Chain A
Amino acid sequence: MPSSAPGLVSLSLADAQLISDGAIEEAERQGVKVTISISDSGGRILLVNRMDGAPWGTVHGSQGKAIAAAGFNLSTGRLAPHGDATDVGQTHQHVRRSEGQHMIFARGGVAIFRDNVVVASCGVDGGTGEEDEKCARAGVARIQA
Chain B
Amino acid sequence: MTLKLSEAKRIAEGAVKKAEELNIRISVAVTDTGGRLIAFNKMDGGIWAASYGCQGKAAAASAFGMPTSEIVEKVDPIEIKEVDIANGGHFALGHGGVPIYREGILIGACGVGGGSGGEDEACASAGVASTI
Contact = CB atoms under 8 A, between A and B. Distances in A.
Given A52-B4, A52-B5, A56-B34, A47 B44 contact: no
Nearest to B3: A52
B47 interface: yes
By size class, the interface of chain B is: 20 to 34
Contacts of B16: 13
A108 to B, nearest CB: 17
Interface in B27-64: 32, 34, 36-48, 51
Contacts, number: 56
A12 B32 contact: no
Contacts of A4: 42, 45-48
B46 A49 contact: no
A40 B46 CA distance: 12
A45 B51 contact: yes
Interface residues of A, number: 23
B45 A3 contact: yes
A59 interface: yes
Contact of A59 (B36, B45, B47, B51): B36
A12 B44 contact: yes
A2 interface: yes
A13 B5 contact: no
A59 B48 contact: no
Interface in A3-53: 3-5, 10, 12-13, 17, 35, 40, 42, 44-52
Contacts of B39: 47-50
A78 to B, nearest CB: 26
Contacts of A45: 40, 42, 48, 51
A42 B49 CA distance: 13
A4 B38 CA distance: 22
Given A44-B51, A45-B51, A56 B37 contact: yes
Interface string A50-70: 111000100100000000000
Contact of B38 (A1, A3, A10, A50): A50
A42 to B, nearest CB: 7
A49 B9 contact: yes
Nearest to B35: A56
13 contacts: A3-B45, A4-B47, A10-B44, A13-B43, A13-B44, A35-B37, A45-B48, A46-B41, A47-B39, A48-B40, A50-B38, A50-B39, A52-B5
